[in-house]
Amino acid sequence: MTQFSRRRFLNTAMVGAASVGVALGSSRTTLAQAESPRGLTIRGAEFLLDGEPFRILSGAFHYFRTHPEDWRDRLLRMRAMGLNTVETYVAWNFHQPYERTAPDFTGWRDVAAFVRTADETGLKVIVRPGPYICAEWDFGGLPAWLLKDKDAPLRRSHPKYERAVDAWFAELLPRLVDLQATRGGPIIALQVENEYGSYDDDHAHLEHLRDTMREQGVDSLLFCSNGATQEMLQNGSLPDLLSTINFAGDPTGPFAELRTFQPDKPVFCTEFWDGWFDHWGERHHTTDPAQTAADVAKILEAGASINFYMAVGGTNFGWHTGANLSGNVYQPTVTSYDYDAPISESGELTEKFHKVREVLAAYTTLPDTPLPATPHRMPAQRVAVRESAPLMDALDALSRTPVQRTDPVHMEALGQSYGLIHYRTRVRGPLGIKGLTVTGLGDRALVFGDGKRIGTLDRNQPDHSVDFTVADASSTLDLLVAPTGRVNFGKDFNDPKGISGKVLLDDEELHDWEIRRLPLDDLSAVEFGTGDIPNGPVFHRAWVHVDIPADGFLAFPGWDKGMVWLNGFALGRYWSLGPQVTLYAPSHLWRTGRNAIVVLEMERTGDRIEVRSAPDIGEAATFS
């Protein structure tokens, strides 16, 4: 038997063993265990859990979008809604933002602790480990360092990509295998890839992921989830794995599609979209609670299982917002991932929670405990801004080792994942007015001539140019590039940041660049001063006194676009385009007494920061 044939034989045998819940590779497996399987299995059109009929009533909750001190609180709220399972993605880039550092599974990134906490609250767990997750998360959860080569192979059966994925799974999966229901833990199922039918039809890629998961000890039920069309199901599924579907609204059509494709297995909606996400410049998406509850009732009346996407809203803290492309139009996602979920970004039990709970009560026994109260909120206050530090004056302090390159390169090629990136060159003169343009811009560049702001370039305006003149023998040209999230969905997925193309004066290409990486993960070197408040790009600092830490919501009236840190923690981006007005600041980030808020404003500075006691994520527009 050849090595290839032997591996295929073993994989087939392992898949067969897993389908009846037998632990793979275990010499302790007995005949009695095989006859009474543990874990989630399939019998005809129904699920069995440890041999008994089981309907999955699940909700999505992303551990990386909620402060870990609030995990238990949100899980208890899910249980109070009537759910018996929690589903989560695993965001690779959250654990390993840099290639040469080992993945981090401590603190906020301790996904195994999240699973154990779910178990303690009475919830089973579905894990969707990717490696690609979409999720409106930067680069769909893939680490930015995969884009060191801007044309790198992604999400397909290419040795370079597979080596990176295999190394990641070798770190992640061993932390989860002993938490599987087949071994007495809460994890009942895992997903292979994510909505692959919307991206490609490389079944060899899916097979490699399946085989890698099995080889790492995953013996639970595996599934592939896709959009509810025959093409997506065919492209994104494997015949030996359960196929599931994702949709919003009435389930009749989607369920008919799934039953046509897979007539002999349980019907499971792995993403019932009970809300939607927002891009900057849009209105806030909402769905009608009564209609949502009515659609849920139809799903359950059909005998199907359900996973609410989302059950718990969250936050794209830091630089982790994703983006979409509509044609060639770049659409960055807002910081809030409230998603109009039944349990809001800040833990509020919404009208949708109560409507859905009423429906679930007919299909399950609700916990006999009082509903959790709304988390404590900060009292409102206004804070004056009196300290500032121009970013361009702080370049040396923030990046002491500039890189020299003949041509500009994107930030991932320099080992940088997040933050800003700065490019500087000298332009010989004298020159009359020339049009400055940039190709391969990700995503927005502030342009300076001899230290003076002279314009802005944006990837959504590729034909726009900035007038640049050299009056003397030479001038300094600076480009400060601010990314606003890597594309997380679609086939145009390679989305490097900074400059991956050329900088041109009319048709002449500029060379000899000094490049500064500005990850902005440590602002301690920034020296703040008092006096007049300049416009951006400028760091500003304000101090907030807190008697008792509680959830707060920061607003920036009169400001335009920037990034916020609370006591050194990166809360995320704000933008006057809306719809989001306030940034959620969980109670665990505040301190009793003095708290530092640092704002990097790129354009126009306001005169105050507001701490509000309620969120404002925008004027609603019904989504259907």
- Residues classed as catalytic: 195, 271
Within its chain, how far is the Cα of 395 from the centroid?
A: 29
Q: Are 110 and 62 in contact (CB under 8 A)?
A: no
Which residues face 387 on adjacent strands?
530, 541
Which three-class secondary structure state does DSSP give residue 530?
Answer: strand
Instruction: Please calculate the CA angle 482-616-481 and round it to the nearest 5 degrees.
Output: 0
Is residue 431 exposed (0-12), middle (13-18) or buried (19+ Cβ within 10 Å)? middle
Instruction: Please calculate the CA angle 420-559-610 and round it to the nearest 5 degrees.
Output: 110
Instruction: Please calculate the CA angle 295-297-302 and round it to the nearest 5 degrees.
Output: 100
The Cα–Cα gap between 247 and 231 comes to: 15
State the residue for tokens 């399950």: 364
The Cα–Cα gap between 385 and 178 comes to: 51
603 to each of 322, 428, 481, 482, 534, how far by Cα in Å?
A: 22, 29, 13, 12, 10
Instruction: Please calculate the CA angle 340-344-350 and round it to the nearest 5 degrees.
Output: 80
Q: Are 83 and 60 in contact (CB under 8 A)?
A: no
Give the contacts of 359 (CB within 8 A, at least 6 positions apart): 293, 296, 297, 300
Encode 342-375 in three state secondary structure. Answer: CECCCCCECHHHHHHHHHHCCCCCCCCCCCCCCC
Taking Cα atoms as reference points, which of 117, 41, 129, 109 lies closest to residue 86? 117
| DSSP line for 541-606 | EEEEEESS--BEEEE-TT--EEEEEETTEEEEEEETT-S--EEEE-GGG--SEEEEEEEEESS---
Which three-class secondary structure state does DSSP give residue 456?
Answer: strand
HSE, CB side, 13 Å, CA atoms: give it for residue 35.
Answer: 3
What are φ and ψ of residue 162, in 5° steps? -65, -35
Helices assigned H by DSSP within 399-510: none
How do strand 314-315 and strand 329-332 relate by DSSP bridges? Answer: unpaired
Number of residues in the chain: 624
Q: Are 442 and 487 in contact (CB under 8 A)?
A: no
Give the contacts of 25 (CB within 8 A, at least 6 positions apart): 217
Q: Are 542 and 386 in contact (CB under 8 A)?
A: yes
The Cα–Cα gap between 514 and 509 comes to: 15
The Cα–Cα gap between 532 and 172 comes to: 50
Helices assigned H by DSSP within 361-455: 395-398
